Structure 1
């Protein structure tokens, strides 16, 4: 007999969507990490990770999903329980290696306890953008060339574990997403003079890093991303097919039509 599903809920709309689609799921949150499901969740400090494991097992949980944007809470070693003391050396070693290494370690922590870690896209069909999506004006040959250039840049920097997005105009890299996130890089691009864009509006490409585990921290866009792309003066948004979550899908795509930009999906090289 199958056990229960647990949602480890962090920030944003995704945990709410999962909770609506899976009303039988139990909700858990981490102290210091804001979540829209906080009212219905059991909260645990990360320092007491053993207590979280025990609570999940006692509730019959055998499957879990990480959902939402995770802000790393500060850790107080004085509060570490026995399990966190055991895990701390590996956790501390993973942190300087970048987000991918850290998140793989976190997934491994839960798998070691016998939990099957699922991706949100496995629990919400249609969550990711499908191949061939095309909304808004058709991109020009120059814009498709800029998209290919941005995808190549993202592929080349994947081993450095820097970010999931890149803006290019006229073959010129206008910016690469880093820890500050998509909104920050697009706000920066908006300040780039048109003279530096080589006569092109440019595009923003969003996709996972090469080899990224898509069960956690999958690239995500929504209506605010569409607005930010338009506000930055870019012609459109290019998404990795099957590997980018699109939240509030109908609103986001309608907004693209209204703002006169394209949203397309394709395989990224």
Structure 2
């Protein structure tokens, strides 16, 4: 299995999407799923589960399967380590991981990437496997943003940049210039649910701009991992929140199932704007 790719998988649909892309190209691959963060697996793909406490054993498994390239994909929150499960070799690695866990997501990812690279694996982004995941710049839908939407988008971009600099989140909702919600650890779905249930009533003018949800990577983050993603479910959640559209940073946000995502946005009357920074 020389030259295989390993998908280090967390929650969501993205790992299976990449697996399909690899299978379609005939490229060999294995899926190593982080224990406790099951990926969406409608195709019943074979999956090996591993715990961070036994990271060294994962490295052995990948080497045995001829893996040379690694893609870290899917949602994973910082796990709690169980000291009783740590094997002796992984114990030698944890002094580099544990301090990073306390510093935030970016620091943790950088530490984990460094360990994989030192083991001889090339760490690449999801777009290296499936280039179609990065949508082209422009408005992809029938609906288009108006001047008020453009102002809300510009304000949301500023807020997301500030959140990202503090390693907090990668999304925000702005309507009529006001920030209705920001993304934190619970994620985009929770943020949009909050707007639908509570914050949507905070719009000063009920007949004014409905608002936008903006997604963008954190400033300075390693874009090989943890790029934000949207898909059909994001459109449904934005529609329930009463928003006018979705704004994502060109080159910095992955688009899952583009045809279905755009079709649902068109049915809901939402715009999808891939905005150039």
Task: Give TM-score, length-normalised by structure 2.
Answer: 0.91
Tell me the equivalent position of 2:138: 132
Give the superposition deviation at 1:72. Answer: 4.0
Tell me the alpha carbon deviations over residues 13-72 of structure 1, each in whole angstroms, 9 at most, x when there is no partner: 111111112132122223322134575122222211111111111222111111222244
CA–CA distance in 1 between the matches of 2:204 and 2:272? 20
Tell me the equivalent position of 1:25: 29
The answer to whether 1:182 aligns with 2:183 is no
Asked if the contact 2:216/2:252 (under 8 Å) is kept, the reply is: yes
Give the superposition deviation at 1:176. Answer: 0.8
Asked if the contact 2:78/2:105 (under 8 Å) is kept, the reply is: no
Tell me the equivalent position of 1:248: 257
Give the superposition deviation at 1:208. Answer: 0.4
Distance 1:71 1:242, change over 3 A: same
Tell me the equivalent position of 1:66: 72
* Number of residue pairs aligned between Structure 1 and Structure 2: 268
For structure 1, which runs of at least 5 residues remain unmatched after alignment?
Answer: none
For structure 2, which runs of at least 5 residues remain unmatched after alignment?
Answer: none
State which drifts further: 67-76 or 3-12: 67-76
CA–CA distance in 2 between the matches of 1:60 and 1:134? 40
Asked if the contact 1:129/1:243 (under 8 Å) is kept, the reply is: no
2:90 counterpart (81, 84, 105): 84
Task: Give TM-score, length-normalised by structure 1.
Answer: 0.93
CA–CA distance in 2 between the matches of 1:261 and 1:189? 16
CA–CA distance in 1 between the matches of 2:39 and 2:158? 35
CA-atom RMSD in angstroms:
1.8
CA–CA distance in 2 between the matches of 1:30 and 1:138? 40
Tell me the alpha carbon deviations over residues 141-174 of structure 1, each in whole angstroms, 9 at most, x when there is no partner: 1110110011011122322111111111111111
The DSSP-based 3-state class of the residue aligned with 2:133 is coil
Distance 1:2 1:58, change over 3 A: closer
2:203 counterpart (183, 196, 215): 196
State which drifts further: 214-223 or 42-51: 42-51
Tell me the equivalent position of 2:105: 99
Give the superposition deviation at 1:194. Answer: 4.1
| 1:222-261 equivalence runs, <5 A | 222-261=231-270
Tell me the alpha carbon deviations over residues 86-134 of structure 1, each in whole angstroms, 9 at most, x when there is no partner: 2212211111211111111111110111100011111101111211243
The DSSP-based 3-state class of the residue aligned with 2:185 is coil
Asked if the contact 2:172/2:183 (under 8 Å) is kept, the reply is: yes
